[in-house]
């Protein structure tokens, strides 16, 4: 593995991307916790800014990476981690997009439970990626990655319960379709966080 050269700081980039995901998750939680249908377009516009900022940062990194000869970890791992961090932000934005497109008036309580988990998962990712910079000597990185996996597992349980309750209590076909799709998207957010943790873990194993 080549030594890190001066110039673009890939580890700061990873931290920044996780930060965008955390900000997006916090905004999603706040918006759905006190949801006002009249502000649906505003919510989506603000959320899109997080996604756009993350994309801009990703393009900046990619422009540097294509010209780099020496990188701190393998180029393929940099790209895989970058793409999957981007997926976290994209999936959080997609939740808001679906709420907007489906013209949601009332948010189900399970959605707020999901957004709390997503916030916690993104917070753990931020902490993990701060530690990632010193992964060869970090004493907490493994624990933080396990925390991400644990939260994702709790999300799986919540998803099963939420969908079961939906089909048990809701008789309207429209609401069944809409909320199944939204629950799917909420679960995707947690899956995306877990994918990031899995890539970080793989990089650690390959380089230690």
What is the DSSP secondary-structure string of 172-194? -HHHHHHHHHHHHHHHHHHHHHH
The 3-state secondary structure of 37-52 reads HHHHHHHHHHHHHHHH
* Predicted local distance difference test score (pLDDT) of residue 83: 96
CATH of the domain at 147: 1.20.58.220
* Predicted local distance difference test score (pLDDT) of residue 5: 45
pTM reported for the whole predicted model: 0.93
* Predicted local distance difference test score (pLDDT) of residue 1: 40
Two tokens, residue 84? 């999957």
Q: Is residue 4 part of a domain?
A: no
Two tokens, residue 204? 């650690």
Q: Is residue 2 part of a domain?
A: no
Q: Is residue 5 part of a domain?
A: no
* Predicted local distance difference test score (pLDDT) of residue 48: 95
CB 193 within 8 A of CB 92: no
CA-nearest of 123, 104, 127, 105 to 115 is 123
10-residue mean pLDDT profile of the chain (208 residues): values are 62 96 97 95 96 94 90 94 97 98 95 97 97 93 96 98 94 93 98 97 91
Q: Is residue 1 part of a domain?
A: no
CA-nearest of 136, 133, 126 to 196 is 126
d(CA 79, CA 6): 19
d(CA 194, CA 188): 10
* Predicted local distance difference test score (pLDDT) of residue 207: 87
The boundaries of the domain holding residue 114 are 10-207
Structure-token match 């970090």, residue found? 138
d(CA 38, CA 105): 9
Two tokens, residue 205? 């194993």
d(CA 141, CA 137): 9
Report how many domains make up the chain.
1
């Amino acid at each position: 593995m080549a030594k890190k050269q001066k110039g673009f700081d890939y580890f700061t980039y990873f931290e920044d991307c996780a930060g965008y995901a955390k900000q997006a998750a916090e905004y999603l939680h706040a918006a759905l916790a006190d949801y006002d249908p009249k502000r649906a377009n505003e919510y989506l516009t603000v959320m899109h800014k997080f996604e756009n900022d993350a994309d801009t940062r990703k393009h900046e990194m990619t422009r540097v990476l294509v010209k780099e000869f020496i990188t701190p970890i393998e180029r393929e791992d940099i790209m895989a981690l970058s793409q999957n961090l981007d997926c976290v932000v994209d999936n959080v934005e997609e939740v808001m997009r679906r709420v907007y497109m489906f013209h949601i008036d009332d948010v189900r309580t399970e959605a707020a439970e999901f957004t709390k988990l997503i916030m916690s998962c993104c917070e753990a990712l931020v902490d993990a990626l701060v530690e990632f910079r010193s992964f060869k000597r970090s004493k907490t990185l493994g624990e933080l990655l396990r925390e991400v996996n644990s939260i994702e597992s709790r999300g799986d349980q919540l998803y099963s319960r939420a969908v079961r309750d939906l089909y048990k209590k809701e008789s309207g076909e429209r609401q069944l379709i809409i909320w199944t799709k939204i629950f799917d998207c909420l679960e995707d957010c947690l899956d995306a966080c877990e994918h990031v943790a899995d890539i970080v873990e793989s990089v650690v194993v390959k380089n230690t």
